[in-house]
Structure 1
């Protein structure tokens, strides 16, 4: 039969190897040897006991495609069972696992359609928790962008999470806990507050107030 497989060999990476892909070697009479690289999870499924044995090259490629979709979706479901992820984070995970970009995009589209992944939902929950933890607006924005979420995707940003009075109050509370010596207090508070992600204007106003109060107490 044209395209019939003579033999099929699956080689998984050695333990400790940094490779995330398995090597599938198929030998077809009259066509010679051909090697494919597949994600390790797919390689394990192909080599598992009781796995269907493709009789032709076409059946093998079809099996690799089906297993790839199944394994990628299972990987996403497993990750999301531990904690929430953004689309960008999941994309990085799947790529690191050796999945091709077209399958990664297909899998993420499936996850979004199922409601498993929602960057706006993630962004709102993240912003709310970090605001309560004392993070400033700028730091939250930077961290969301690092995780692939644009703040304009987050409904109610920034008004529902920050307002000038509450942000100033948080900055003042945090700065007031700092141990000051009277030497470069303003600069130290500015570095601290800006590092926590508070806007420059809020940081400067609070730094002046706290540094001034400390200076008066030392005289």
Structure 2
């Protein structure tokens, strides 16, 4: 009887600790938005399962393991947000599989993503013809984001002859007060251009929380909240 009571107490404790883990680290833990969160979810589930039923291991050891794992994930999340150039190695980064309507075979090989897997993911998006796709990006959580060619989009632009000559993918320029130089060079921009745009708006790089070039070529800027106040 005493053993059954211990299992019940351990089970309740495991549930509460997992609940706190998700509450503290956010809903992105459930969605497995990155590599480290996916690993953490599996590890925490294993620890909690053992805490509930493995009475041979001391209760305190499981508590220490859960607190340690939670601390590690919290620190990795902080680095991912504050230092995006380092965070991409922790959380991973999206991979472009189709660009300008062309399949990027080298990118697919690097990701270990087969053509059959690509077709299956497209069918899940109600796309049965790869020819309809302008751009496809494999996100860090394994989902596939799709941008259709304009003539295949669910709109009346084609019928109204309102097709724009070009359409670009949004390009992040500044994040958390730091210029993303790799994005600048890869998309035909340079530091001089972004600094000129900021000067015209009487802004400094340190003022900006997030800046991105939209699909229409416009520059969208979001300031830090304190400065907005």
TM interval, shorter chain, is under 0.3
Q: TM-score, normalised to structure 1's length?
A: 0.28
Structure showing greater Rg: 1
Structure holding more strand per residue: 2
Q: TM-score, normalised to structure 2's length?
A: 0.27
